[in-house]
Amino acid sequence: MKNVALFGAGRIGRIHASNLAALPGVKLKYVSDPMAQYAGELAQKYGAEVTSIDAAFADKSIDAVAICSSTDTHSDLISRAAKAGKHIFCEKPVDLSVPRAIACGEAVKAAGVACMIGFQRRFDPTFNEAATRLAKGEIGNPEMLVVTSRDPGAPPAEYIKASGGIFRDMLIHDLDVVRWILCSDGDEAAWLSATGSVLTDPAIADLGDCDSTAVTIRTRKGRLCQINTSRRAAYGYDQRFEVLGSKGLLQCGNHTPSEVVQWDATGIRGDKPENFFLQRYAAAYKAEITHFFDCLQTGAAFRTTVADGVAAQKLADAATESAKSGQAITF
């Protein structure tokens, strides 16, 4: 039995709590959150106790921590968890600062604990199936990747202010997909060009951010990638990618709540995509946390590590800079 402390009882903390609670061999022992009420409700629902982060670190029976607190707390909690000898599952990003993220990696290494970063898309049934077939060579050598990533609507200005900007906040996932799909053989980004616009809400421009972006990456091997994102899609959460290989194409479509198609005088109409990330990635979150404990059990390597977090962060920084300057970055 692995005992776990969960830090953060917000939206994403609740998802992980629910999945942790259903895992055989895992016990959600503690929940911590600055909002006592949130922590209390979540703890009660799954038979856990509310405690402080310090107390959780001090409890020798705790094997692992799940860091689901706000982004600005991640690197501090990773370092402290490492020192306390706890294994770590941490939501993305490691840190908005690349040097601090690198330092986290070093702390983890020094302590000899295991640390996994939550890039849940790698566990999505559709995306993972595409990655698996690509690895099996079903479409030959990968050549081009087109990533479409759109939210149903922009988050509140408050959120955007602390987000690090759209490239670090939203595209970090897409940039991890690029590395996963195009660079699994050691290839790396060699050239990146990004641009952005404000098309949905002028308030976003006032914050110095943008809501619509286009990023292009060329790898050392000459593979090409285009990412297009928007903070708003009238039809909902749009999460797709297509990878062209020398022998074919793998196209990842959205998931839908049902497979009903309605035929009437207006056309032939299927469901909109699953509403947002909690729905679309429900299976991915479950598979991700299962993978974390499976690896702890077997000693296998995590699919996503601090190094992946750092690498995606570097690309996000480069995209931010390129969009600002209007010029490409070479690595």
C-alpha dist (Å) from residue 259 to 12, 179, 215: 27, 32, 33
Q: 52 vs 184, which CB is nearer to a copy of itself?
A: 184
Answer yes or no whether residue 295 interacts with a copy of itself by CB under 8 A. no
Region 63-82 residues binding a copy of itself, contact defined as CB under 8 A: none
| Nearby residues of 212 by Cβ (< 8 Å), 6 or more positions away | 196, 197, 198, 199, 200, 229, 230, 231
β-pair type (115-118, 87-91): parallel
Q: Least separation, in Å, of the C-beta of 49 and a copy of itself?
A: 18
- In this structure, which amino acid lies at residue 94? V
- Which listed residue (213, 305, 313, 320) binds a copy of itself by CB under 8 A? 213
Q: Least separation, in Å, of the C-beta of 150 and a copy of itself?
A: 7
- In this structure, which amino acid lies at residue 110? A
Q: How far apart are CA 99 and CA 160, in angstroms?
A: 22
Answer yes or no whether residue 330 interacts with a copy of itself by CB under 8 A. yes
Q: Least separation, in Å, of the C-beta of 169 and a copy of itself?
A: 18
In this structure, what token pair is assigned to residue 223? 């593979």
Answer yes or no whether residue 157 interacts with a copy of itself by CB under 8 A. no
Greatest pairwise CA separation for the chain in angstroms:
65
x/- letters, 255..274, toward a copy of itself (CB under 8 A): x-xxxxxxxxxxxxxxxx--
- Which listed residue (17, 31, 42, 250) binds a copy of itself by CB under 8 A? 250
Q: Least separation, in Å, of the C-beta of 254 and a copy of itself?
A: 7
x/- letters, 44..63, toward a copy of itself (CB under 8 A): -x------------------
Region 112-151 residues binding a copy of itself, contact defined as CB under 8 A: 125-126, 128-130, 133, 138-140, 143-144, 146, 148, 150
Answer yes or no whether residue 198 interacts with a copy of itself by CB under 8 A. yes
- Which listed residue (97, 195, 279, 290) binds a copy of itself by CB under 8 A? 195
Q: How far apart are CA 100 and CA 77, in angstroms?
A: 12
In this structure, what token pair is assigned to residue 91? 């939501």
Residue 199: CB atoms within 10 Å? 14
The H or E element spanning position 30 is: strand 26-32
In this structure, what token pair is assigned to residue 127? 């995306």
